[in-house]
Structure formats: structure tokens, C-alpha cells
């Protein structure tokens, strides 16, 4: 049934990609999107669309990932609306041109900088938060004055289809349109030379997108992943720290780019931390290992597909299993697992886990641990748990990472005003709030000179004007 709807929708919008982009470029060229009032009206329509489609979007998220209504609202639907409302409230201010003083030797001239839109923007969205990570960049691009093409992930087909149907109901395709398809479709869309690309996904795929975009000199924003370390110092608050780590790793069953990927714990505290985290999970999600088969925790998200389920299962051989929940391959149900590992060479420590497996890495020397982490790829998030908050903050200032957190994990993502993104292997560029608006615009200098006055001292010959030149420069 889902496949039939996808085919039917694609047939209805079955226009060549070059024609699709040209229609958007033609609309952009009309200049209508220069008006902040018009952009705000688009955001108003966006909110109307969300309100009208709320239940259908939540149903699609459950169909793709088994997300409970509460988690889907908190991490996807309401998060999109929060970003939308914040941008709408700030849009007039953000769209104002910034005035600059001109040099004294050019009297009566005026200079200002416009946040200019790129044109037609391509949004390549992932499957783990298929609603939020498609719509937040899209509405940000609209707020910045661009037209938008969204390519949702084929691994979340129900959500992709719902997004396509919703936006086609409220917007014309020359403003925003959705293209369904797989990796080949993404490559074909990039080949149309969009004016800007926003990609969210793995580092490996992000590199391919960047390479293809570079062939056409297309500006890109890459929101990638990474192995996010969390370090528990000996003086850390075990009760609070374990609860916050369990919360951050439990959301979306660990399928979150900013989730803690592994936890580093002093050797003599491994058992205490593992037990506390496991107990927190049981309290939060009501896991009952002794229940008969088929009774699954209602608020625990499923793994996206069989391939990822099997990949996670293979990682369980990487270390000593300290705690382990139930799994059901037929329903893609995978409860948390805590592993004890002693080496960065363990398979689970090689790539991003992106699932409900928490490796606990045992360390004896904090200095050696920090030095070792510094040689690894820059993470999206770096967390330190300690009572010495000042020392931890000073340490984070010198660490290369997208964001540094003290005594918490993932929580910085909740604030719609904070810039979000990675560095080096974990991404390039920022979005959310004003940083998102800036990501979809470029600063264009506008300089106006008077038509009825001309300064004679600007022209050669310059001999005898040395004092003026020094003052100019």
C-alpha cells in the first residue's frame, strides 16, 4: 500500500529534475522572496500544514521507527514548530540590511550588507529523525528567502511520503517540492547544480556529497556524525550523571548523531556506572526481561531496518556484556546493551554505534585517555562529568569538537537558539536559529556612491597626496 502511494505521488509530480529546478529558479528570479512579509506568510502556511497533518505525521513516524507519540512530539513534531515560531518572531530583524560607515575620503557614500538568499536549495535528509531533519532545514531555507527541494531518506518511506503529500497540499512546487528516491536520486539532484546543498547523514556519505558538490562549486552544509565520548571523572555525581547518560542514549534507541557513543570510566568505578545506567533505563522505559515474548516496552523506538539490526548484533562481540536487554529481529526491537571494552581497537570503538549499545571504556590514567582521544576524529559532542565544572569547561575550550558539555549529554540540542553542527569529520557549517538563517544566506555588500559629487583626491596623479593616502589606509 505504501509503495503504491509513493509511485502514485511520484507519477503526479513526475517532471524532469532540470525542469523542476528551472521552475524554482524562475520563481526566485521574480524577487517575490525578497520580501520578509512574504517569507513570513510562507512560515504561516508551514505551521498550518503541520497542524493539519499532525496525526498523520505521527502515524508515519510510528510506522517507520516505532516512535511513541510522546517521543515523536518531543523530538520531531514540536521541535519543528519551536524552530518555526522562533524564526518567524525574529525574521524581520534578521532580514534587515546592516549599515556600515564608509571611508572619510568618499563622502556621501553609503554601504550596507544584505543577507542574500542562494536560490534553489537541496535538502538531503536522513532516516533517524526523518521529520525534524527534513523540515527544520527546509523552513530555515524558506525563511532565508530560498526555494527548496527536499529528498527524504528512503529508509523512512512512510514519513517521506507524508511530508511530500503535506507540502504538495499547501505549497506550489516552484516554492518547495519533495522528491522521493534512493541514493541515486540524490546524486541526480546534485547533478542539476542546485545553488546550495544541506546534507545530514553519515560522514562516509557526506564526503561523497561534498566531492560531487565540489565539481560544480556548490556551497554545502554537512551535518555528520561521529564517536561522541563521555568521560566520567572519579568525582562525578554517579546518580545524576548515569540518569542523564541513559536519557541521552535512550532517545530514539540511540539512533541519534549527538548521543554519547561511548563512556570512559575509571577502572574501579565501571560496575557502579554500568549498574546505575542500567537501572535508569529500566525505570524510564519499564523494561521487563522476564516478560513473555511479544510484550515490548511501548516507549522504546525500534531499529530502522534489518541491516542495521544485524550490524548492531555483530558489535556485541566487541567486549564483555555487562547488561543486556531483549531483542526481536522480526520486529526490529533491540533493548539496550552495556559492554565493557579495554581497547580502542575493539570493533564497537571503530565507527559510530548509532544504536542502543553503550561501550564503557576502562581507563587508568585520565591524561593518557585525553591524549588518546585527541588523536581520534573530531566528535560532534564531547561530554565531561565532574564536580569541577570550571576545570572541565577550560579543558573543553581546547578540544576540537562541535559542542562541549559538562555534566550532560545531548541536551544542548533542545535550545532552538543555539548553533548546532560539527567540525572536520563531524561536519561543516551550523544551523538552528540565526545560525541556520546565516547558513542559507551569504553576505552581499551593497555600496552606493553619490551621482552629483566626486572626490578629486581619489584619482591620479597621487604625488603630493601622501598624507591623505596614509590616512586612508
Catalytic positions, written as ranges: 223, 257
Distance CA 79, CA 415 (A): 10
Number of neighbouring beta carbons within 10 Å of residue 151: 23
Residue 58 near residue 151, CB atoms below 8 Å:
no
Q: What's the chain's Rg over C-alpha atoms?
A: 25
**Max CA distance (Å), the chain:** 96
Q: What angle do CA 170, 172, 174 make, to 5 degrees?
A: 145
Cα distances from 431 to residues 91, 131, 200, 345, in angstroms, run: 15, 16, 11, 34
Helices (H), 171-220: 183-190, 203-215
Distance CA 268, CA 272 (A): 9
Residue 241 near residue 327, CB atoms below 8 Å:
no
Counting every residue written for the chain, the total comes to: 473
Torsion of CA 202, 208, 210, 212, to 10 degrees: -150
Q: Is the peptide bond before 461 cis (omega within 30 degrees of 0)?
A: yes
Q: Residue 151 forms beta bridges with which residues?
A: 124
Pairing of strands 220-223, 427-428: antiparallel
Contact residues for 153 (Cβ-Cβ < 8 A; gap 6+): 125, 126, 127, 130, 160
Distance CA 197, CA 123 (A): 6
Contact residues for 376 (Cβ-Cβ < 8 A; gap 6+): 227, 344
Distance CA 132, CA 142 (A): 15
Residue 218 near residue 194, CB atoms below 8 Å:
yes
Distance of CA 403 to the CA centre of its chain: 13
Residue 337 near residue 309, CB atoms below 8 Å:
no
Distance CA 240, CA 280 (A): 10
Amino acid at each position: 500500500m505504501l509503495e503504491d502511494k509513493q509511485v502514485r505521488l511520484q507519477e503526479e509530480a513526475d517532471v524532469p529534475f532540470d525542469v523542476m529546478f528551472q521552475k524554482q529558479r524562475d520563481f526566485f528570479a521574480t524577487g517575490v522572496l525578497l520580501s520578509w512579509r512574504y517569507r513570513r506568510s510562507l512560515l504561516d502556511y508551514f505551521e498550518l500544514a503541520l497542524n493539519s497533518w499532525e496525526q498523520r505525521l505521527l502515524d508515519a513516524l510510528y510506522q517507520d521507527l516505532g516512535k511513541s507519540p510522546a517521543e515523536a512530539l518531543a523530538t520531531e513534531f514540536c521541535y519543528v514548530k519551536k524552530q518555526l515560531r522562533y524564526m518567524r518572531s525574529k525574521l524581520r530583524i534578521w532580514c534587515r540590511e546592516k549599515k556600515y560607515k564608509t571611508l572619510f575620503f568618499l563622502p556621501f557614500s553609503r554601504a550596507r550588507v544584505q543577507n542574500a538568499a542562494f536560490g534553489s536549495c537541496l535538502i538531503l535528509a536522513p532516516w533517524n529523525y526523518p521529520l525534524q531533519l527534513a523540515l527544520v532545514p527546509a523552513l530555515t531555507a524558506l525563511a532565508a528567502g530560498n526555494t527548496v527541494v527536499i529528498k527524504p531518506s528512503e529508509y523512512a518511506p512512510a514519513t517521506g511520503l507524508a511530508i511530500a503529500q503535506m507540502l504538495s497540499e499547501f505549497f506550489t512546487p516552484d516554492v518547495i517540492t519533495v522528491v522521493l528516491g534512493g541514493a541515486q536520486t540524490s546524486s541526480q539532484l546534485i547533478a542539476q547544480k542546485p545553488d546550495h546543498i544541506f546534507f545530514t547523514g553519515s560522514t562516509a556519505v557526506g564526503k561523497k556529497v561534498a566531492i560531487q558538490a565540489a565539481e560544480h562549486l556548490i556551497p554545502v552544509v554537512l551535518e555528520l556524525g561521529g564517536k561522541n565520548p563521555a568521560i566520567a571523572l572519579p568525582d562525578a555525581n554517579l546518580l545524576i550523571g548515569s540518569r542523564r547518560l541513559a536519557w541521552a542514549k535512550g532517545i530514539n534507541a540511540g539512533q541519534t548523531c549527538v548521543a554519547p557513543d561511548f563512556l570512559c570510566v575509571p577502572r574501579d568505578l565501571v560496575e557502579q556506572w554500568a549498574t546505575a545506567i542500567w537501572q535508569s533505563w529500566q525505570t524510564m522505559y519499564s523494561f521487563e526481561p522476564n516478560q513473555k515474548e511479544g510484550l515490548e516496552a511501548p516507549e522504546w523506538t525500534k531499529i530502522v531496518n534489518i541491516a542495521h539490526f544485524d550490524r548492531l548484533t555483530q558489535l556485541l562481540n566487541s567486549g564483555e556484556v555487562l547488561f543486556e536487554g531483549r531483542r526481536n529481529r522480526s520486529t526490529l526491537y533491540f533493548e539496550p546493551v552495556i559492554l565493557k571494552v579495554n581497547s580502542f581497537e575493539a570493533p564497537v570503538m571503530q565507527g559510530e554505534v548509532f544504536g542502543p549499545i553503550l561501550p564503557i571504556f576502562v581507563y587508568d590514567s585520565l591524561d593518557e585517555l585525553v591524549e588518546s582521544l585527541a588523536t581520534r576524529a573530531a566528535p560532534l559532542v564531547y561530554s565531561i562529568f565532574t564536580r569541577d565544572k570550571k576545570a572541565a569547561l577550560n579543558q573543553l575550550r581546547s578540544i576540537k569538537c562541535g559542542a562541549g558539555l559538562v555534566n550532560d549529554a545531548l541536551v544542548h540540542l533542545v535550545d532552538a537558539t543555539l548553533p548546532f553542527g560539527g567540525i572536520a569529520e563531524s561536519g561543516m557549517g551550523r544551523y538552528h536559529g540565526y545560525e541556520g538563517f546565516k547558513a542559507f544566506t551569504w553576505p552581499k555588500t551593497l555600496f552606493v556612491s553619490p551621482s552629483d559629487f566626486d572626490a578629486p583626491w581619489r584619482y591620479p596623479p597621487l604625488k603630493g597626496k601622501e598624507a591623505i593616502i596614509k590616512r586612508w589606509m
